[in-house]
Amino acid sequence: MNRNMTTISQLSPEAAGIYERIKQTYKVEFDTLKFNEVSLSLLKVADIEPLLAGRDPFRDVSAFPFWIKLWEASIVLAHLIGSMGPGNGRSFLEIGAGLGAPGLAAAAQGYRTTLSDYQELILDFERVSAAASGLPDIDFQLIDWLAPPELGRFEVMAGAEILFREDFFEPLLALFRKLLAPGGTIYLAHDVRRQSLPKFLLLAEKEYEIAVSTRTMTAGDEKLTIIVNRLQARKTG
């Protein structure tokens, strides 16, 4: 039995039903992401090229289906969260989670985790991955950045490759104000080629202290630089 069949056989009946529904539209497979002693199983589309139709994620940002790819920035962010030690039940929200690697890493570290995105189909991919990774207690939420629901506040928020449209910058900052707990921290990870990132940080630095670090990783024959930003609200008064 191959790795994918083994993973599928371990799904709960509910997750198996979601998986079968997804398979009616997409050819899918599980990818493995490991850090420390943790192994995550991520459901993804097996061949994304026909769905991308040649679109460039750094040029065709309004038409690119960002959720469909396991981004290098998402992998870097997952490893960073996995290296920060036990979550000890602290609340964690991944915004625009897509395939959800950072949020799954947080749940595996003991954070009380919520994964969010704008479409139920994306949450279904996340639900299957959570079940396949043995993480049954994750919450899944649809979040429209323009009209976010009442979810309470989160001690840690995170997002990878979410700063691709400048018209979403102000709604995203408003979302931070609404959902970040006092004293909380936001982690953002993006490919250095994401030209909108500096523009967003110029807006965000009015409200947040921003720390910057970089990670270099290899993807195929290409070396990529990922920028990780840590945002913490400026003290007032």
Q: Which domains does the chain have, with CATH numbers?
A: 3-233 (3.40.50.150)
Task: Evaluate whether 71 touches 98 at the Cβ level (below 8 Å).
Answer: yes
Q: The pTM is what?
A: 0.94
**First-to-last C-alpha distance (Å) of the chain:** 62
Tens digit of pLDDT per residue, the chain (237 long)? 456 776 888 899 999 999 999 999 999 999 999 988 899 999 999 988 888 877 777 777 677 788 988 999 999 999 999 999 999 999 999 999 999 999 999 999 999 999 999 999 999 999 999 999 999 999 999 999 999 999 999 999 999 999 988 999 999 999 999 999 999 999 999 999 998 999 999 999 999 999 999 999 887 788 999 999 999 999 876
